[in-house]
Chain A
């Protein structure tokens, strides 16, 4: 791993951030089960599956530049694929992989249709919207007896419930315990996050971003933009399918709501609120928005009063006006801005302290150097030596 990194291959522009996020996940992985709070573990598993979904959108849209309005369809396809497969096979290993493969295949076909047809952004959005709607309508209407694949009925509007959970591969009877499911989910989240970071730092990832930035230029440089877009689309779909499969293991059920426009819109909101173009941003956006909607519904007074739509709508509108890039980029901007101010003030103080007669201004110089971020040691390094750690 270090060898890979040492080969000069950029991991990502903000390595510090990546390690912090990954580190947090690892710590949570170990700490949370110790707290012996099954509800907390359950909730975290739910959030994890949604975060993975947010990450899938972050990749497709934030890095691939593809405005997929129906990401929920891959989520739903993955979920249904798992449910139907596990209903027929009775063991969860193959269905687990199917939940990623089936959405990927679907995305490949749809993506081929769209990208190799050179459709531009708005039309991609409309087509993905239309396909998601069509799937929603279709699955909703399958409540009759005649709709079944193998042994598993599609159950229409009611959805499929009491779905088998994960078991250890090869042993259909040994189900994972709640704690083990937690480890599995968090592990998958970590793997997805790091995997995506690696992918985005690789040559493939950087071409994808280049395509997003300026498609014409990338094409003129000789890259087949259609193939790259297709690849990103398929990867995002597979990840969304994984999220669908994980979400079933949390709530034990899948319904056509997974395809619904409301979920598709929510996924977009997570990425937007968190920050397009980052991976951490959508994680934040997802957690924040989900938490807000959870809080708004607990202990709500019966009848009338401020209802959740009203509040959510207000939040979103104010947000767009005030923090349009999303939380994480805005915080980054603030930090940069603060950094700039610090350096400005520090520079000013430094030159000021140079003007003072010798012997005075020692404190001011210290302060200035601290602001600029220089380390002060006995021998007093020259400004600009930077920190080596």
Chain B
């Protein structure tokens, strides 16, 4: 057996430590930042299960940054976007958020798709005083000065669509959704609305995200005989519900409204016979007929390969375009990228007009008051038929008032 000399021990460990430190350091050394540029980061999954959302979001952020630069930059400086791909992995979300805040020292992070991932990075970015902008539809309740939310909340989107259902189809409502926090809360809000307006809430059934077999549930729904079905299904596996529902002949028998249909481009994956007639209320549809939106869609499709290759834009994908541009406008208003000043500018109740309509910041919650549109699926596309202007994000108004308590930094669960 070879024995150890003190010399050998010290030498080997010093060598080992040096290598390890060097590797760590090298990993952390990046090119120095040019003085005339502003750096922002995007944190959306472009691989793993969530890339159907993350890829268009990253593309929209990229487009926004390019447009801003083409118009002369931000405060005279070039805007540069670092796109991280957390690969649908929470650990990487945390790591990239830390990297963006501590190493790259970005001015803002356009980030996170699911609430789970947002809740990972929100405290990290808050601690490190880097602004977070969340632009995805979610269950509501975030109350954090550092986290501006342009995504719509259940109160903004859920009530209009349930109201439509009750007015047009009847009072008995059956709800199914994905089994996690957002659809739970959306269901609870739905129940509140229905019972307060004289309706009957028959059931709230939730399914894990990877369930593909809905046969038993479809039979249960038929047994319950609702006037309409309210769905909040999410993700690729859940598309099979719509397919099985139509195959069982139910699409024509029981009407359906949905909180989330379309957000995963379901209407593009399904044939028209499988989904025509479904109604949803969302802040954005690619088919919105406004000039601003038509121009935006045109620019997006030109940039990313034409109408056949560019991804379809829904309210999730377009969110990062809105988020990036709105933030840029706030920077212009504040005259600096410094976080406190930008937040203050936004908190004056600043408004911005974008492809989805007008958004106005609500200083008490740092969410956006925004237009919501009702649309019905026809021939595989959305047909928008009504716009409800400036819905307020009052989900947790009873507990969240950042004008009075600006130090709050948590996500409340609405008490319904």
Contacts and interface: CB of A to CB of B under 8 A. Distances in A.
A and B associate in one complex: yes
A337 interface: no
A299 B83 contact: yes
B311 to A, nearest CB: 8
B180 A32 contact: no
Interface residues of A, number: 61
Interface in A282-313: 291, 293-303, 307-309
21 contacts: A15-B4, A24-B13, A24-B20, A39-B99, A39-B102, A141-B208, A144-B184, A156-B184, A157-B181, A159-B119, A250-B94, A251-B124, A297-B47, A299-B82, A300-B46, A302-B55, A302-B61, A303-B55, A307-B51, A308-B87, A309-B47
The 3 residue pairs across chains A and B that have the minimum distance between CB atoms: A23-B13, A157-B180, A27-B17
A37 B28 contact: yes
Contact of B123 (A26, A35, A161, A302): A161
A interface SS class: helix
A251 B90 contact: yes
Nearest to A300: B85
A88 interface: no
B20 A140 contact: no
B12 A20 contact: yes
Contacts of A43: 24, 95, 98
Nearest to B57: A302
A23 B9 CA distance: 7
A257 B119 CA distance: 14
Interface of A: 15-16, 19-24, 26-28, 31-32, 35, 37-40, 42-44, 46, 137, 140-141, 143-145, 155-159, 161-162, 247, 250-253, 255, 257, 262, 291, 293-303, 307-309, 387-389
B84 interface: yes
Nearest to B120: A253
B91 interface: yes
A38 B46 contact: no
A309 B85 CA distance: 12
Interface size class of B (residues with CB under 8 A): 35 or more
B385 interface: no
Given A43-B24, A140-B180, A253 B119 contact: yes
A162 B92 CA distance: 17
B120 A307 contact: no
Nearest to A388: B3
A300 B83 contact: yes
A294 B311 CA distance: 26
Given A294-B95, A303-B304, 13 more contacts: A16-B12, A20-B16, A23-B10, A24-B16, A28-B21, A39-B102, A46-B95, A140-B180, A161-B123, A297-B47, A298-B84, A300-B85, A303-B58
A302 B83 contact: yes
Interface string B104-139: 000000000011100110111000000000000000
B13 A26 contact: yes
Given A24-B20, A162-B410, A302-B59, A297 B85 contact: yes
Nearest to A136: B208
B2 A143 contact: no
B102 A38 contact: yes
Contacts of B21: 28, 31-32, 35
A161 B122 CA distance: 10
Contacts of B402: none
Interface in B1-58: 1-5, 8-10, 12-14, 16-17, 20-21, 24-25, 27-28, 46-48, 51, 55, 58
A140 B99 contact: no
B96 interface: yes
A156 B2 CA distance: 54
Interface string B233-259: 000000000000000000000000000
Nearest to B99: A39
B206 interface: yes
A155 B83 CA distance: 29
Contact of B115 (A16, A39, A158, A293): A158
Given A27-B17, A161-B123, A162-B123, A297 B92 contact: yes
